[in-house]
Structure 1
Amino acid sequence: MCWKIVMHLTSMVFLMAGSFISGIYAVLKIYSNMVEVVEWEILSLNSCSIVFTLIFDWVSLLFLCFVLLISSSVLYYSGGYMSSDKYFNRFMYLVLMFVFSMAAMVMSPNLISILLGWDGLGLVSYALVIYYSNEKSANAGMLTILSNRVGDVAILLSIGLMVKLGGWNFLYYTYSMSDGQWLKFNFLIVLAAMTKSAQIPFSAWLPAAMAAPTPVSALVHSSTLVTAGVYLVIRFNPILESSYAQSVLLIISCLTMFMAGLGANFEYDLKKIIALSTLSQLGVMLSILALGFSDLAFFHLLSHALFKALLFMCAGVFIHGSGDYQDIRFMGCLAKFMPLSVAYMSICNLALCGFPFLAGFYSKDLILEVVYMSWVNLICLCLYVLAVGFTVAYTIRLIFYSMSGEFNLNLLINVKDTDNLMTDPMVMLGLGAIIGGACLSWLMFPEPCMICMSEFMKSSTIVVMVIGGLIGYFCNLLNVNNGLMSLKNYFWVVFTGSMWFMPILSAMKNSEVMVKAGGLMEKVGDKGWLEYFGPQGLYWKLAQLFMIFNEFQVNKVKIYMKMFVLGLLVVLFMYM
């Protein structure tokens, strides 16, 4: 036990120190408006040189500050949550490798070194998802890593396309890659971001990755794995401007935002509800990126990371204290037993909904106003408005089932906030969820801007939020009082609650089709035409040919006699 405490305390101290240093450095870069690029030439062969590059600008340093800050809180939190785990040290090393891979990706402007961090995230995330050695975790880990491999292939193809520029440092080639000739490159970058950030049709792996321990979920959904795709598009945003790839990204991200918000209203797993809310917010970030506002997307990325990590920590405390139940129907009335965790949870939920003057308000309200002023089509605008209403609806539903309502625990166990290792790191993130949005707003947008809108457009956001909250509340009352109502529309409930059958199409049906296709290829190919025209057929033909040559080499008289008679017949036929 002593080694475990030293392990997570040491990790927290070093990561906190790194976060403080990078935060101070980021503020200096913002006010000095400078960028530093450091290069080490590892190997040079003829005209090809392998260079390790680091970039120190305000974007990378500020994001690294938040990654290290949240990681330090999560590692300290893990000391309480994973205290009874037999392989605690292995878990801590895996999480540290995860953080190091994210830092390597954030600090790199080189596409090859980005691939190293990108692949590191995928590999370590697979090891963390399958940490609990059971069949469900193994299936979830396989779905996660196979979905992310599509993005890895897209990055590899992007590296191949950049060869003709003479280097892979995209900061030097931004303006030469902005024309129509680089449309394939733009689509590959967007595809890589879509897989890592779980946009349609790659959304199935994100709820499946909830098989990992809760501290990993807090880290993945706040500042590491799923935000890597958003960060990649932020870096390549000058290249993607006025491209067809941006239009595709806008439509897909709006659909993902709508699908995740709708599906969260039909989900009962606590962690999956929060995962679907993350998916919805990722759709918000990528959609505003597709409109060309990279700084605003980065602002929402940072503010979202603060309260989303705290949200998963509170969920872990609820699960840990209620007998390892994740179904919100087996919770209820937790506000009387765990007031501290419920207070933090309420702050996170209000910040997620965009409650005034909390962290999520400054970014979400500004994003909605920018969308209202942009030349966006009516379908995307309606999806935005509906997603805002769905966010409030599933938040009210989560509060109704878990924190308030009736006491639904199976056993009268001692549910309370007793583990200081799990509640202490919430203080810093809770403070960030309250004032983090305002501080980031003052830091990133020091010059005020005037947004002029009509009274109807300005008040529409608040009206949609109130309507969404009322609908969520009354639907919860109907569901509790008459639990069989959902059976009348069973197909639509399953359709919306299962993310439009995407997990089935991504895993079960896809695997079934691939197995059948593989069997058909083996039957027709390996054991069919390839057997006849392939190596075995070639071997058989060559063996026959060598047998003929062997007959000539044994000097048999009958062979020469046959050849002589055949030649004589040919000569006679020619002179006849």
Structure 2
Amino acid sequence: MSLSLCKIYFFFFMILSFLLFFSGLYFLILDLTVFIEFNILSLNSVSILMTILFDWMSLLFMSFVLFISSMVINYSEDYMHGDKYLNRFILLVVMFVLSMMFLIISPNLISILLGWDGLGLVSYVLVIYYQNVKSNSAGMLTALSNRIGDAALLISIAWMLNFGSWNYIFYMDFMFEDKVMGLISMFIVLAAITKSAQIPFSSWLPAAMAAPTPVSSLVHSSTLVTAGVYLLIRFNMVFSSFVMNILLYISLMTMFMAGLGANFEFDLKKIIALSTLSQLGLMISILALGSYELAFFHLLTHALFKALLFMCAGMIIHNLGNCQDIRFMGGLVSFMPLTCLLFNICNLSLCGLPFLSGFYSKDLIIEFMSMGYLNLFVYIVYYISIGLTACYSFRLVYYSLVGEFNLLSLNNLNEESKIMLKGMSGLIIFVVVMGSILMWVMFPTPYYICLPLLMKMMALLMIMIGIWVGYECSKFKISYLSSSFKFMNLSNFLAYMWNMPFLSTFGINFLPLNVGKIYLKSFDQGWMEYYGGQNLLKSLNKMSKSIQFLSLNYLKISLLLVLIWVFFISVFLNF
């Protein structure tokens, strides 16, 4: 039953993705946009309409999401083999993908919110899938961080009431100078940076690694984290220069912080998660510099190699008995040659090595940025971030694929899982060729870039320096680097993403909990208790003791009471 369910969704998503891809190419070449609107309900003069937007961007993105999802579902069949609730897992993944589809085709803020919240809810369920304390904490951090973005989206929906319709696409061109649209755009930016985990909401992205690896592959490539970038791409026309500058500096800091953090991390999945964070920063920064098409181009190419990178990591973790620490790996190229080959190709694509898919988008982004009139800070941070990407990629290769094997001598390392290998092999062709195909299609007129030789070679130079630094630091097992940073405890600071996980958890929880403690001591266990429950108890005790004293059948008291009773009767009878 479970096998058939995996196969059904695999074939269905695969066929649909190819249909959507060719439809997207057709729409792109002819510059078509189809806007479908149908009436769900009419009450008197009020109509509830469902609107769907099909253009080259939505169709291409949907085809990529469905293709990656089909490969992930195929891969999950073997990865999650033996799981008691495999059907439930597959259906949750399908719900996740459908929520993303809903978000992609929506030109309406209400239907975007439905897809947006669907992603948030299903991601929470998938992160807590393994049902332990760590997963629960990670799930809560993920869900509550994303709720901030949901609230921002709800506020922007309320402000859109000023325009008479929630179809934001109608107001893009002529409401550019409007103050209300400026306010809405700021809330959209807030929603997007929470979903795409930019500073100061970055801590949930590495925490979400508690989910099963196929889910991580889907989340970090084409669904959850890319939803924020996609929303920004759709709204790019209404952002003022002030909003663009804020977005640029937030994304630059995220890119730099994630690159540094990945160089001090030892968890395999977290390193790849931080690399996703770095690439998201790159996408949003180029969008803030004014080229939304380049951001979309990198979004598509990144989705392919990041999905495969996570699949390879899952294969390695699966075979190492769920060990994720890269210090225990080493020499895996001898045991798992095909997985290591795919892993290396993805890593090189991530670094931007010519002529893999990552190179076409990344190199173009760097050169586009170099052509602009920007300050030195932006320029330096961009190039350092590129160097850091190469640095952590080659550090990862050094620790995991080459050198000596550091786990148990008695191991079961093999590549016998044909289903997982098929899922991974389906993506590798596209990781190699899709960058050039998309570039020919999306940019029929090439970008004209004229740079001096040194600036032209700068990206390649930074990659080479990054590779060298990554190799040297790994060779010394980073102990020398850590000891040199120890005087300021810098290595911990960088490894913990500038202390952001602590700020996101303790920083938010500490004050309310502390106030609750003070309230408990002062009120519930303090003077309120004394003048409330405790005092009432004392008063009732006194009253009951006095009544009890009267009811102990003492002869003197009873005769006295009879005498008093007779006295009162005689007095009242005389009156």
TM-score higher than 0.5 = yes
1:57 equivalenced with 2:55 (yes/no): yes
1:216 equivalenced with 2:215 (yes/no): yes
Q: Deviation string for 1:340-359 (max 9, x for gaps)? A: 00000000000000000101
Corresponding residue for residue 205 of structure 1: 204
Corresponding residue for residue 177 of structure 1: 175
Equivalent residue runs for 1:79-118 within 5 Å = 79-118=77-116
Corresponding residue for residue 315 of structure 2: 317
> How many angstroms apart in 2 are the aligned matches of 1:311 and 1:169?
37
Moved more, 38-47 or 109-118: 38-47
Corresponding residue for residue 279 of structure 1: 277
Equivalent residue runs for 1:353-392 within 5 Å = 353-392=351-390
1:66 equivalenced with 2:64 (yes/no): yes
Helix, strand or coil at the partner of 2:52: strand
| 2:214–2:311 contact (8 Å) kept in structure 1 | yes
Corresponding residue for residue 464 of structure 1: 462
Quote how far apart the aligned CAs of 1:527 are.
Answer: 11
> How many angstroms apart in 1 are the aligned matches of 2:198 and 2:480?
34
| 1:41–1:52 contact (8 Å) kept in structure 2 | yes
Corresponding residue for residue 192 of structure 1: 191
Residue 323 to residue 49, structure 1, CA distance change in 2 (3 Å) = same
> How many angstroms apart in 1 are the aligned matches of 2:183 and 2:66?
34
Residue 89 to residue 443, structure 1, CA distance change in 2 (3 Å) = same
Tell me which amino acid in the other structure corresponds to 1:95.
Answer: V
Q: Deviation string for 1:501-534 (max 9, x for gaps)? A: 0001101332222322445578899999x99xxx
Quote how far apart the aligned CAs of 1:209 are.
Answer: 0.1
> How many angstroms apart in 2 are the aligned matches of 1:46 and 1:259?
55
Q: Deviation string for 1:152-177 (max 9, x for gaps)? A: 00100010111011101111111233
Quote how far apart the aligned CAs of 1:480 are.
Answer: 6.2
Corresponding residue for residue 551 of structure 2: none
Tell me which amino acid in the other structure corresponds to 1:126.
Answer: Y
1:436 equivalenced with 2:429 (yes/no): no
Corresponding residue for residue 154 of structure 1: 152
Residue 401 to residue 173, structure 1, CA distance change in 2 (3 Å) = same
> How many angstroms apart in 1 are the aligned matches of 2:154 and 2:524?
30
Match of 1:515 among 510, 513, 516: 513
Give the CA RMSD over aligned residues.
2.0
User: Unpaired runs of 5+ in structure 1?
Assistant: 532-576
Equivalent residue runs for 1:221-300 within 5 Å = 221-240=220-239, 242-300=240-298
Moved more, 443-452 or 464-473: 443-452
Tell me which amino acid in the other structure corresponds to 1:409.
Answer: L
1:119 equivalenced with 2:104 (yes/no): no
| 2:473–2:481 contact (8 Å) kept in structure 1 | no
> How many angstroms apart in 1 are the aligned matches of 2:241 and 2:248?
11
> How many angstroms apart in 1 are the aligned matches of 2:313 and 2:424?
12
- Which structure would you say has the larger Rg? 2
Tell me which amino acid in the other structure corresponds to 1:296.
Answer: L
Q: Deviation string for 1:397-434 (max 9, x for gaps)? A: 00000001111112431211110111101112101110
Quote how far apart the aligned CAs of 1:450 are.
Answer: 2.3
Structure 1 runs, 4 residues or longer, greater than 6 Å off: 521-528
Residue 215 to residue 490, structure 1, CA distance change in 2 (3 Å) = farther
Corresponding residue for residue 304 of structure 1: 302
Tell me which amino acid in the other structure corresponds to 2:361.
Answer: S
Give the TM-score normalised by the residue count of structure 2.
Answer: 0.89
> How many angstroms apart in 2 are the aligned matches of 1:271 and 1:320?
12
Q: Deviation string for 1:20-39 (max 9, x for gaps)? A: 11111101101111100111
Tell me which amino acid in the other structure corresponds to 1:200.
Answer: I
> How many angstroms apart in 2 are the aligned matches of 1:517 and 1:207?
30
> How many angstroms apart in 2 are the aligned matches of 1:290 and 1:226?
17
| 1:109–1:169 contact (8 Å) kept in structure 2 | yes
Q: Deviation string for 1:87-124 (max 9, x for gaps)? A: 11111110000000000000110000000000000000
> How many angstroms apart in 1 are the aligned matches of 2:518 and 2:479?
52
| 2:482–2:491 contact (8 Å) kept in structure 1 | no
Residue 91 to residue 356, structure 1, CA distance change in 2 (3 Å) = same
Quote how far apart the aligned CAs of 1:380 are.
Answer: 1.5
Corresponding residue for residue 569 of structure 1: none
> How many angstroms apart in 2 are the aligned matches of 1:84 and 1:386?
45
Quote how far apart the aligned CAs of 1:486 are.
Answer: 6.4
